[in-house]
Chains A and B, each alone.
Chain A
Amino acid sequence: MIPSFLVSILMPPLLGFLVVSFLWPRRKAGRDHSLLRLSIGAGTGFGLSALAYFLWLLAVGPESGFILLEGVLLTALAVLFLAGKARRASIAGGTTADLTPKAQGCGAFARSKLDRYLLLIFCGVCISALSAFLLLSARQPHGAWDAWAIWNLRARFIFRSGAQWRGAFTPLLDWSHPDYPLLLPLSVVQGWRTLGAEIPALPAAVGFLYTFSTLFLTCSSLSVLRSRTQGLLAGLVLLGTPFFVQHGASQYADVPLGFFYLSTVVLLALYDGTTGEGRGLLFLAGMMAGCSAWTKNEGILFVAAVIAGRALAVIPFQGWRSYAGEMIVFLLGAMPELLVVGYFKMSLAPPNDVLSAQGLQGVLGRLGDPSRYLYILKSSFLTAFTFTKGIVTLPVLALYFFLLGRHRRRGDGPRVSTGVTALALTATGYALFYVITPHDLAFHLDYSLNRLFLQLWPSFLFCFFLSVRTPEESVASPNVPRSGIMFP
């Protein structure tokens, strides 16, 4: 049972890793980016697998056979990957000149004492977080409330219903939100199909992969873009967010959604560091944004926020033409997921409870009520201080920023501002959604606001540590600029 469990859980991430490796700019591919590609690949694999499985369900049905298709695809990609690697090695004479520490610049810091201590602390905290995750998963094998009431319930319906799988979207169970996108339930269902049995450990394993991929993506991306110390510090803060670890184990969709947000923001930041040869990164960023829409409804808003955020970051400096060129590639990456989400929403899913339960009059009435805005602002302010369930909250980060200062380097503007603008626009969209909700506002905020903060948290930490000086930089040049506590 254990080997087949490992196959079912590791096959999609492996597929994702190979897809990411193919799209990764050749110059960048190498040993030091493996963790980054692996982290992005894990989520990509589940996203693409769930997408392919949905199309398989529509075209063929739930009969077995998908695993064969996946196996063939995996083998073909692996052969192509190894062949490409061997060819590149022979061209470069067995060396990868671009990957020397000198060529990588900030990606490969000489290992300082601080670096070694931090790595040690990080490993200790990682083991501790892993223990907490395993204990939580063992105590709640079916996950927390939303996991069994929404995500795993949907997976169960699809898996157990056989040919009647479309019944999983019955409007009779409107409390279980049958209109929610299917990335997470289908990731679980295809794992169960591979295993041939409904194993409760599988949703927990999917949650585990998303949680720790988010962690390693945060660390590795900042290691590449800034320094390893910076990556480890960001990772420590994420691990020191108990709500993140608890929620990863709760089998909700918020951590996977946060993973896709982070992947998109990271890939766009990496793209900004290339000089035109990184179109694959842009395509991957689109794919990740599309996967966010395939995970939760909020992801649809995020896609729009990224498109708008990118416009604000690129058009003033590089013009419309450059922006349009980027967006074509980005949308090509996002298109498969967006088309599938569109099809699902129009043909299978019942209407959304928030949008269908009110008329235009009700929406306008709520939009014109200032007390709702004030209430949302007040709740958001309070939640910003408490949602982590830990010590590291916005004031602690503000103090850290004040002590270390802002990182300033030419060309870093769009890299940070795309992410920050996209996150700010997404947060604004969330706030507007609360303004128009027909449900009791206090209940709705109590129930979900901390999770919305959590969705944005890894991407926020990435942007934060991209903007703040590294400890090494601060020691080398201790004059902390007093201006610019805020992001650029």
Chain B
Amino acid sequence: MKVKAALVILILSSLIPNLVLVKEELRKYGNPCFRDEATSYEAKFAELKHFLPENGVVGYITDQQPDAGRQEYYLAAYALAPAVVLRGTNYPFVVGNFHRPVTDEAGANPGLVLVGGSCNGVLLFRNEKVK
């Protein structure tokens, strides 16, 4: 009896979470609320990659607070590798990642000249002050 009880406890407590996990994953799969951020960032920065120097250092600016934007900064670094993406503007090229309509970012950062951008808030600046 004891052995049967032990086996039933062990088997059920292994089986149930496993089935719950599959159910959860089926629910999440294809649900836009659970979309993969890394995949989104790959697409977001895909075009920009062609304009950046390989193996060089590029700057990164955003309209988010450093803590809130940490994940996005890391994702940008992942998408743009092997360019080394560093926060700040003291680099020949600066990548902008904005969530609100960009009004005058270059004006707020003297020396930055808009090179190009896309409608998803990703902009590329050249820093005139850094050669």
Contacts and interface: CB of A to CB of B under 8 A. Distances in A.
B15 interface: yes
Interface string B42-82: 10000000000011010000000000000100110110011
Nearest to B19: A128
Nearest to A126: B18
A139 B29 contact: yes
Given A140-B38, A148-B74, A239 B14 contact: yes
B3 A404 contact: yes
B22 A128 contact: yes
A354 interface: no
B57 A172 contact: yes
Contacts of A128: 18-19, 21-22
Contact of B9 (A132, A246, A400): A400
A132 B18 contact: yes
B2 A132 contact: no
A237 B10 contact: yes
B13 A392 contact: yes
A391 B11 CA distance: 10
Contact of B78 (A114, A140, A156): A156
A288 interface: no
A125 interface: yes
A148 B82 contact: no
Q: Main SS of the interface on chain A? A: helix
A474 interface: yes
B84 interface: yes
A109 interface: no
Given A237-B10, A240-B13, A480-B2, 6 more contacts: A128-B19, A149-B74, A164-B55, A172-B84, A176-B77, A392-B10
The 4 closest A-B pairs by CB, nearest first: A240-B14, A390-B17, A391-B13, A142-B38
23 contacts: A128-B21, A131-B22, A131-B25, A132-B21, A139-B25, A142-B36, A142-B38, A142-B78, A145-B71, A148-B38, A148-B74, A153-B81, A172-B86, A233-B10, A236-B14, A236-B15, A241-B17, A242-B18, A388-B17, A390-B16, A391-B14, A400-B10, A480-B2
Interface of B: 2-3, 5-7, 9-22, 25-26, 28-29, 34, 36, 38-39, 42, 54-55, 57, 71, 74-75, 77-78, 81-82, 84, 86
Interface of A: 114, 118, 121, 125, 128-129, 131-132, 135-136, 138-143, 145, 148-149, 152-153, 156-157, 160-161, 164, 167-168, 170, 172-173, 175-176, 233, 236-237, 239-242, 245-246, 388-392, 396, 399-400, 403-404, 471, 474-475, 478, 480
